[in-house]
């Protein structure tokens, strides 16, 4: 796969889910209105949040609203594919805002590319992950290590992938992840039984994105986002 556009790569600090979602919407709108030529990839972490995809998922939330309110954890309905999932610190989330129509790649093939990126990244830390034909993402045994949920608007992709690095997995026990019962979740640190940080993993993700997208990124600081015509 080769992305024909110049692609900006932006690492953001810990960012509220709704704030990142709003930023994605602005970038997609700018691209579909031809105000922004460059493709954009955002890499970041979120504070604790549960998100619901197009298949719904609130029925797979296993704790009460009172518990969520007490813990201060929001539940957000988004237009991405998939069911319910959890995001939190210690998980690298990547949002590829790419014109996949111009790159002539279908959604299913693009999901495979993102799986390849996570598999290669996990391998760099000695973790052998694999695909599961029944549920997209990457797995170690019967436990899910990385998830994918995409949306596409007028040929531009958004939402994306989430790789578990060293996050607290407790909140996954509050849901049936991706709508699947009796499914465990894991992280790179848990599989290796050693400390692996987001700072360790992000350069590998960036390198593997470049490799599998066939592109060299143009880095951009988060502070200069305001220079984009959004």
What SS3 string covers 13-67? CCCCHHHHHHHHHHHHHHHHCCCCCCEEEEEECCCCEEEEECCECHHHECCCHHH
Ordered strands of the 49-52 beta sheet: 74-77, 49-52, 84-87
Q: Is 62 among the residues known to form the active site?
A: no
Instruction: Say what the alpha-carbon torsion angle 119, 95, 43, 16 is, to the nearest 10 degrees.
Output: -130
Of 178, 108, 96, the closest CA to residue 143 belongs to 178
Q: What is the rounded distance in angstroms from the CA atom of residue 34 to the CA atom of residue 18? A: 24
- Three-class SS state of 110: helix
Token readout for 43 is 């890499």
Task: Select which of 93, 140, 162, 178 is catalytic.
Answer: 178
Q: Return the CA Rg of the chain.
A: 17
Hey, which residues are catalytic here?
178
């Amino acid at each position: 796969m080769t992305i024909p556009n110049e692609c900006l790569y932006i690492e953001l600090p810990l960012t509220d889910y709704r704030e990142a979602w709003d930023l994605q919407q602005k970038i997609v709108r700018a691209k579909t209105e031809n105000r922004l030529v460059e493709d954009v990839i955002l890499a970041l972490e979120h504070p604790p949040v549960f998100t619901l995809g197009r298949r719904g998922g609130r029925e797979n939330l296993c704790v009460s609203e009172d518990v969520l309110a007490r813990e201060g954890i929001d539940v957000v309905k988004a237009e991405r594919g998939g069911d319910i999932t959890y995001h939190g610190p210690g998980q690298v989330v990547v949002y590829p805002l790419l014109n996949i129509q111009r790159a002539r790649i279908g959604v299913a093939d693009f999901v495979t590319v993102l799986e390849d990126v996570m598999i290669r990244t996990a391998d760099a830390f000695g973790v052998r992950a694999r695909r599961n034909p029944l549920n997209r993402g990457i797995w170690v045994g019967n436990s899910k290590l990385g998830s994918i949920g995409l949306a596409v608007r007028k040929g531009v992709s958004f939402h994306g992938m989430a790789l578990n690095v060293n996050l607290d997995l407790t909140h996954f026990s509050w849901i049936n992840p991706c709508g699947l019962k009796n499914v465990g979740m894991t992280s790179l640190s848990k599989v290796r039984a050693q400390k692996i940080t987001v700072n360790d993993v992000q350069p590998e993700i960036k390198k593997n994105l470049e490799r599998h997208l066939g592109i060299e990124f143009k880095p951009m600081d988060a502070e200069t986002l305001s220079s984009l015509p959004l």
